[in-house]
């Protein structure tokens, strides 16, 4: 347990550091590009990505999840995963290329044919990724993966910014996207000496596990992007770009903090799933950590939405600030979604997620059809309502199906949200409309006070909660060891 926990922590820290660096570059890139490009450019890109990444989602059979989930792996597993990936992505590239003219006719945007076909090249490009990369995640050994992705991301950042500065149109984002797939795909062959061969020996085994990952990828993508699908049909490119930019900005902490940890959580949960007490302890700690990171941040963004939009994106995006203010609250629900997804995936419960996501798509269509004809802020409110409803349904469904713990995650989420909003109202009693970066830094006492209250809550209730007691003892031991080390050196 100690070895697994230690490797899990090292892996999580490595992936989190990589994500911070990558998303930090992405953040700087967004700040620069938002000033070089227009909401119309981002609206066009949103439409292109909507179609292209749908094809990409359809071509994902979940080879990585299969390799990480399976206890013992051999060359036949890796070769089959690689071969399936090539076949699927090549097939969906051809299908999407034939379908794109009809899609653009429906959207009344025929001029986007060439840009969309060029962007679609990410499918064959990503299909060549070395499956040896999956072993890094499975074994929680991510040092080489860290440096390769960091070099690739820096290169993509430089290329995209230069192209945007020279051409000042959406083609900079398209070529930046292509390079963001090409460089990591090639890099996997430099960091891992495994060389795959075409094989379908383990197709049946992988298909039994991965077919529901495949279905989930499709439905999951529709669920995540159905708001943009409706908006793309009923609004002008500037509004599409404004909504999509605010959604990406609101979800950026999710991508920085959560996305890189997903494979680590799944691997860790899978290793301890046979001991339910250990699994629940690991899950509870991870939920508490995610809530502690995301909830205070979401509340901070909520109270300072105008200032953050103006500082990061510029004045031409200010008319969409209310959209950002609503969408950023969805961050509060993210820890529950990550927790349930990885906990149940460790037991192979991917089929149930398909039907739950399918139900969510139906609810989403109903909600968005109801708000057609209203302003774009109603789509943001609908998105938040659907996210909350889905979180509740999934959480309590899997409590019944696999015995997922509910009381501790929900209680901690509510406590941290309450503390965050209480401190928010204390420190931000009115909207901040014209502050600079330095002013936002001086608002940092909000975070300090929030975490002090949370630490006090854990200390007070540690005797009545094993997870709090475990955290208290672990952190206390680490601090005492650190103090002893410092004293010894001096």
Poorest-pLDDT segment among 176-185, 299-308, 471-480 = 471-480
197-222 as b/e: b if 16+ CB within 10 A = eebeebeeebbebbebbbbbbbbbbb
What value does the CA radius of gyration of the chain take, rounded to a whole number of Å? 23
pLDDT top residue among 145 and 228: 228
- In the structure, what pLDDT confidence band is assigned to residue 193 with cuts at 50, 70 and 90? confident
Only one residue has tokens 């990061």, namely 312
> Is this structure's pTM higher than 0.85?
no
CB-based contacts of 219, cutoff 8 Å, min separation 6: 354, 357, 358, 361
pLDDT of residue 357: 83
Which residue is listed with tokens 């001086």?
442
Beta-carbon contacts of residue 320 (< 8 Å; ≥ 6 apart): 39, 242, 243, 245, 246, 309, 376
Contact between 306 and 228 under an 8 Å Cβ cutoff? The reply is: no
The pLDDT value given to residue 429: 63
Q: How confident is the model at residue 368 (pLDDT cuts 50, 70, 90)?
A: very high
User: Which pLDDT belongs to residue 8?
Assistant: 55
The Cβ of residue 108 has, within 10 Å, a number of other Cβ atoms equal to 7
Convert the pLDDT of each residue in 387-418 to its tens digit: 999 899 888 888 887 788 888 888 989 999 99
Short-list 186, 116, 188, 109, CA closest to 146: 188
- Tell whether the model's pLDDT for residue 438 goes beyond 70: no
Q: For residue 38, give Cα distances in angstroms to 32, 216, 239, 337.
A: 11, 34, 11, 33
In the predicted structure, residue 95 carries a pLDDT above the cut 80: yes
The confidence band for 100, taking pLDDT boundaries of 50, 70 and 90, is very high
Residue 17 has pLDDT above 90, yes or no: no
> Quick one: tokens of 391?
């979180």
Position 2 confidence tier, pLDDT thresholds 50, 70, 90: very low
% pLDDT > 70, the chain:
84
* Residue 228 reports pLDDT greater than 60: yes
Closest by CA to 388, choosing from 411, 360, 416, 365, is: 360
Find, among 186, 73, 183, the residue nearest to 134 by Cα: 73
Helices 445-460 and 276-303 meet at what angle, rounded to 10?
150
Which among 112-121, 122-131, 145-154, 342-351 has the top mean pLDDT? 112-121
Domain ranges of the chain: 26-225, 273-490
At 67 the pLDDT is 75
Residue matched to tokens 């040896």: 132
């Amino acid at each position: 347990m100690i070895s697994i926990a230690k490797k899990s922590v090292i892996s999580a820290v490595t992936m989190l550091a990589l994500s911070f660096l990558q998303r930090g570059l992405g953040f700087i890139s967004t700040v620069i590009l938002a000033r070089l490009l227009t909401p119309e450019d981002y609206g066009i890109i949103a439409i292109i990505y909507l179609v292209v990444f749908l094809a990409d989602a359809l071509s994902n059979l979940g080879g990585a999840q299969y390799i990480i989930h399976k206890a013992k792996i051999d060359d036949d597993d890796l070769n089959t995963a690689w071969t399936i990936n090539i076949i699927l992505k090549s097939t969906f590239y051809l299908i999407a290329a034939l379908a794109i003219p009809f899609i653009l006719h429906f959207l009344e945007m025929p001029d986007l044919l060439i840009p969309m076909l060029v962007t679609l090249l990410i499918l064959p490009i990503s299909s060549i990724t070395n499956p040896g990369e999956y072993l890094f995640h499975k074994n929680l050994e991510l040092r080489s993966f860290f440096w390769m992705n960091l070099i690739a991301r820096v290169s993509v950042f430089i290329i995209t910014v230069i192209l945007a500065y020279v051409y000042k149109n959406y083609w900079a984002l398209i070529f930046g996207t292509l390079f963001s797939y090409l460089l990591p795909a090639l890099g996997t062959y430099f960091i891992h000496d495994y060389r795959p061969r075409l094989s379908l020996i383990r197709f049946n085994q992988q298909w039994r596990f991965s077919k529901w990952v495949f279905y989930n990828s499709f439905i999951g993508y529709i669920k995540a992007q159905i708001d943009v699908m409706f908006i793309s049909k009923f609004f002008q490119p500037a509004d599409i770009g404004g909504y999509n930019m605010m959604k990406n900005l609101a979800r950026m902490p999710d991508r920085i903090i959560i996305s890189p940890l997903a494979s680590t959580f799944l691997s860790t949960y899978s290793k301890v799933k046979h001991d339910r007490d250990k699994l629940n302890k690991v899950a509870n700690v991870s939920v508490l950590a995610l809530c502690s990171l995301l909830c205070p941040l979401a509340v901070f963004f909520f109270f300072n939405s105008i200032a953050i939009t103006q500082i990061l994106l510029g004045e031409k995006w200010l008319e969409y600030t209310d959209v950002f203010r609503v969408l950023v609250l969805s961050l509060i629900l993210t820890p529950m979604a990550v927790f349930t997804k990885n906990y149940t995936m460790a037991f192979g419960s991917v089929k149930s997620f398909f039907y739950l996501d399918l139900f969510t798509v139906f609810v989403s269509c109903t909600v968005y059809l109801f708000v057609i004809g209203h302003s774009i802020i109603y789509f943001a409110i609908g998105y938040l309502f659907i996210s909350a409803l889905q979180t509740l349904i999934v959480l309590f469904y899997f409590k019944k199906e696999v015995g997922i713990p509910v009381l501790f995650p929900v209680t901690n989420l509510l406590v941290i949200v309450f503390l965050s909003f209480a401190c928010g109202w204390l420190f931000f009693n009115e909207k901040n409309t014209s502050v600079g970066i330095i002013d936002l830094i001086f608002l940092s006492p909000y975070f300090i006070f929030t975490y002090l209250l949370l630490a006090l809550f854990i200390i007070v209730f540690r005797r009545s909660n094993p997870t709090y007691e475990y955290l208290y003892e672990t952190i206390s031991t680490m601090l005492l060891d650190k103090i002893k080390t410092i004293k010894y050196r001096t």
